[in-house]
């Protein structure tokens, strides 16, 4: 018997795009209306009914409460006299901001998020103290929206000095004398979707509406001035402009000049540039003529620091350079060697002089803080080791645990192995597999496979409470390092973007075949490929969010027979209309422009929504979205895809949709929301995979 579903009204809509007849019967779900709200409520009730009396509900919820609802402290930010850090205590909805004098001062709470809302729908965003620790900028978000309200706090008096409403996609760069800061916003902050972002200089105590626009003339709708750096002496500034989210350009200004003028120093190169200013020198990690990245420097001597003046400090090698930080007379370079991270220590002239020894094989951060007062910290986590912060002594190269976690997990019980498999075009792709040491590989183990494959983002080992829960149930967790990511540099990224996007889906499908014994694998350190059958299609689930939601959506449509269950969270699935949403226009450089014929053709070829076939048999599928997701992953994608799948599915398997009404793309979730969400998700996965 077919699973009971919500009946979605079909309202035929047709258009011709680049000579193709496009039928979109659920276009009406893109627009807010009473009918759509009623449809959302019915879909949510369907999910409620499915899990309300599900076996394991109470036990799952109790364990997730233990895994999520515990005291934990965020990564510290240091000034010359204090450290700031977020902390959430058991029972609290959101993290609050704390401060103490370094190193032995008494802790005090600065921003208590519970003061702003009894509903728990206001959360703390980014914050930035001045280097002397006298002033603090912080941002608050309502219902998880990317739109935030900025406040400037006098730390000593508690007085709010300034406010700027309706900011999005911006950082705050303080001027060294605390007189103001550089930030980005739309020229019309109430209408970001129609106005590009510009850079403004705000002077404290003045009306923000009168702020001077110091950079932005000539920027297009898809240009995003996001990162900026100001030298400690206040003489130099660099702004990074993202052309979409795939390449960027650096602009430099001499702030001591009578007129502030930003000039491009990298030109119109299709590369990535990440800049830091340290001791009067501009340091740059770049993919320019170095797909695996290199590190360059140029002295800031009053002349324009153009690209052709740069000197290479750390040349490109076989390992990808994925990060850079500078403190004192040290340069810290993070590298990925076969998706295993290392942080090497270099002198400022580029010579390697050591390596930070992290507690195990996982993902360790670069050191950040104030070396002048020995307030430097690093962060480390692994697939089953909760993230912990360590104080780092630069000169002794030693780590001391900063805060003890009270989440205790028997890490000795679990293991991570790395395997490699060949994709459809024989490209070798790595995958991490995490499991209990006693799990017998019998070909029917319940497995969750996840991946991302986009924007040059690397899927490095990291802790997830949900992963630990799954391992405790006897499951196996696999992470495929797909093309489109940054695991092997820009060439790896470019092999999975624009017209090459199908490679990402092929890699993911090949990972599924490797796990089910249909494709041989090679263990790290071995030379030979052989079959290792971890699971079968019936017990293999896939899970992904955002660009990873597109991944699982495409895998569902292209190989519905390969999966036992599918989860697609905050996805984009209509690739002909993603660019019309508020944040989607910034993703054109990664996916392509549907308004251009060539781009349209490859987007249509894989767009999950447009490739759902009539009378298809789909596995159990769980789509998740948010009404306040104001990036490119607008809820329209999950809405329309759910309606389409429910209409054509001929199997007895459920196609369900959960819409969260008070959270955003990823932010805004209270602790209890996370517990409820993960309980529901893993009731679904255990029901259909175990």
More confident residue, 388 or 294: 294
Cis peptide upstream of residue 103 (ω within 30 degrees of 0): yes
* 373-392 average pLDDT score: 90
Q: Per-residue pLDDT averaged across 350-357, rounded?
A: 96
**213-236: average pLDDT:** 90
- How far is CA 559 from each of CA 224, 537, 552, 617, rounded to the nearest angstrom? 36, 11, 10, 11
CATH of 171-312, one of 3.30.200.190, 3.40.50.300, 1.10.1740.10, 2.130.10.120: 2.130.10.120
The reported pLDDT for the residue numbered 406 is: 80
pLDDT in tens, 109-167: 999 998 987 777 889 999 999 999 999 999 998 877 778 899 999 999 999 999 999 88
Task: Please state, in angstroms and rounded to a whole number, the distance separating the CA atoms of residues 523 and 534.
Answer: 13
Confidence class of residue 632 from pLDDT cuts 50, 70 and 90? Answer: very low
- Mean pLDDT to the nearest integer, 193-198: 70
Q: Is the pLDDT of residue 256 over 70?
A: yes
Identify the band that residue 4 occupies on the pLDDT scale cut at 50, 70 and 90.
low
Domain boundaries, the chain: 74-167, 171-312, 318-408
Q: Which residues touch 645 (CB under 8 Å, ≥6 apart)?
A: 612, 618, 621, 655
665 pLDDT exceeds 80? no
Residue 668 has pLDDT above 90, yes or no: no
Integer Cα distance of 294 and 456 in angstroms? 16
Task: Look at residue 52 in the predicted model and tell me its pLDDT.
Answer: 83
Instruction: Convert the pLDDT of each residue in 91-109 to its tens digit.
Output: 898 899 999 999 999 999 9
What is the C-alpha to C-alpha distance for residues 591 and 498, in angstroms, rounded to an integer? Answer: 5
Closest CA to 56 of 670, 469, 567: 469
Place of tokens 């990664």: 590
pLDDT band for position 362 (cuts 50, 70, 90) = confident
Residue 430: predicted pLDDT: 97
Which pLDDT belongs to residue 291? 97
Does position 258 have pLDDT exceeding 90, yes or no?
Answer: no
- Give the pLDDT mean for 621-638: 81
Q: What is the percent of the chain where pLDDT is above 90?
A: 78
Q: Do the bridges between strand 375-381 and strand 368-370 make them parallel or antiparallel, or are there none, so unpaired?
A: antiparallel
Q: What is the mean pLDDT of the chain?
A: 92
**Whether residue 1 has pLDDT greater than 50:** no
Q: What is the pLDDT at residue 445?
A: 97
Among 133-137, 190-194, 250-254, 625-629, which is the least confidently predicted range?
Answer: 190-194
DSSP letters for 186-217: ESSTT-GGGS-EEEEEEETTS-GGG-EEEE-T
pLDDT at 402 over 80: yes
Write down the pLDDT at residue 177. 95
pLDDT, residue 360, reads 79
| DSSP-H helix ranges across 222-312 | none
The pLDDT value given to residue 667: 59
- Cα separation, 492 vs 433, in Å, equals 21
């Amino acid at each position: 018997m077919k699973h009971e579903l919500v009946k979605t009204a079909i309202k035929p809509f047709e258009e011709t795009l680049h000579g193709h007849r496009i039928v979109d019967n659920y276009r009406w779900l893109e627009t807010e209306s009473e009918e759509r709200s009623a449809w959302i409520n019915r879909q949510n009730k369907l999910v409620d009914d499915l899990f309300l009396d599900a076996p394991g509900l109470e036990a799952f919820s109790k364990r997730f409460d233990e895994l999520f609802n515990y005291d934990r402290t965020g990564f510290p930010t240091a000034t010359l006299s204090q450290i700031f850090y977020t902390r959430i205590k058991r029972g609290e909805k959101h993290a609050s901001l704390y401060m103490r004098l370094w190193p032995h001062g008494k802790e005090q709470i600065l921003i208590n998020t519970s003061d702003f809302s009894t509903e728990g729908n206001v959360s703390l965003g980014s914050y930035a103290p001045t280097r002397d620790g006298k002033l603090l900028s912080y941002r608050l978000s309502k219902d998880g929206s990317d739109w935030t309200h900025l406040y400037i706090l006098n730390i000593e008096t508690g007085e709010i000095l300034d406010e700027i409403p309706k900011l999005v996609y911006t950082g705050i760069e303080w001027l060294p004398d605390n007189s103001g800061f550089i930030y980005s916003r739309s020229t019309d902050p109430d209408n970001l979707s129609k106005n590009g972002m510009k850079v403004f200089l705000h002077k404290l105590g003045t009306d923000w509406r009168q702020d001077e626009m110091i950079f932005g003339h000539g920027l297009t709708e898809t240009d995003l001035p996001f990162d900026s750096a100001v030298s400690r002496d206040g003489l130099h500034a660099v702004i990074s402009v993202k052309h979409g989210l795939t390449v960027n350009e650096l602009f430099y200004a001499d702030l001591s000049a009578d007129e502030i003028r930003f000039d491009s120093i990298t030109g119109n190169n299709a590369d990535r540039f990440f800049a830091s200013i340290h001791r009067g020198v501009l340091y740059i990690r770049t993919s320019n003529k170095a797909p695996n990245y290199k590190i360059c420097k140029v002295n800031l001597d009053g002349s324009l620091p153009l690209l052709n003046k740069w000197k290479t400090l750390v040349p490109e090698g076989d390992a990808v350079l994925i990060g850079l930080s500078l403190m004192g007379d040290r340069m810290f370079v993070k590298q990925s060697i076969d998706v295993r991270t290392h942080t090497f220590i270099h002198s400022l002239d580029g010579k390697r002089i050591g390596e930070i020894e992290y507690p195990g094989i996982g993902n360790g951060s670069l050191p950040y803080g104030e070396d002048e007062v020995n307030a430097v910290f690093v962060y480390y986590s692994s697939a089953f080791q909760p993230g912990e912060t360590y104080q780092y002594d630069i000169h002794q190269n030693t780590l001391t645990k900063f805060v003890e976690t009270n989440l205790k997990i028997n890490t000795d019980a679990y293991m991570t192995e790395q395997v490699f498999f060949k994709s459809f075009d024989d490209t070798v792709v790595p995958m991490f597999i995490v499991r209990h040491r006693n799990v017998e590989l019998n070909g029917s183990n319940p497995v969750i496979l996840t991946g991302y494959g986009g924007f040059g983002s690397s899927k490095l080992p990291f802790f997830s409470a949900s992963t630990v829960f799954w391992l405790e149930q006897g499951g196996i967790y696999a992470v495929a390092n797909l093309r489109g990511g940054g695991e092997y540099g820009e060439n790896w990224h470019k092999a999975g973007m624009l017209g090459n996007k199908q490679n990402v889906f092929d890699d993911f499908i090949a990972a599924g075949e490797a796990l089910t014994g249909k494709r041989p694998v090679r263990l790290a350190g071995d030379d030979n490929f052989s079959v290792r059958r971890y699971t079968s299609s019936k017990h293999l689930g896939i899970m992904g969010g955002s660009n990873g939601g597109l991944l699982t959506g495409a895998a569902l449509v292209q190989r519905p027979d390969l999966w036992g269950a599918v989860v697609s969270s905050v996805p984009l699935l209509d690739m002909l209309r993603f660019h019309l949403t508020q944040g989607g226009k910034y993703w054109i450089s990664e996916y392509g422009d549907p308004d251009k014929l060539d781009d349209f053709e490859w987007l249509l070829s894989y767009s999950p929504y447009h490739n759902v076939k009539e009378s298809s048999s789909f596995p159990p599928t769980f789509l998740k979205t948010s009404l306040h997701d104001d990036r490119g992953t607008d809820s329209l994608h999950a809405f329309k895809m759910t309606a389409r799948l429910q209409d054509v599915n001929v199997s007895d398997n459920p196609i369900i949709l959960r819409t969260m009404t008070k959270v955003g793309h990823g932010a805004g979730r209270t602790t209890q929301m996370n517990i409820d969400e993960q309980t529901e998700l893993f009731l679904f996965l255990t029901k259909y995979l175990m």
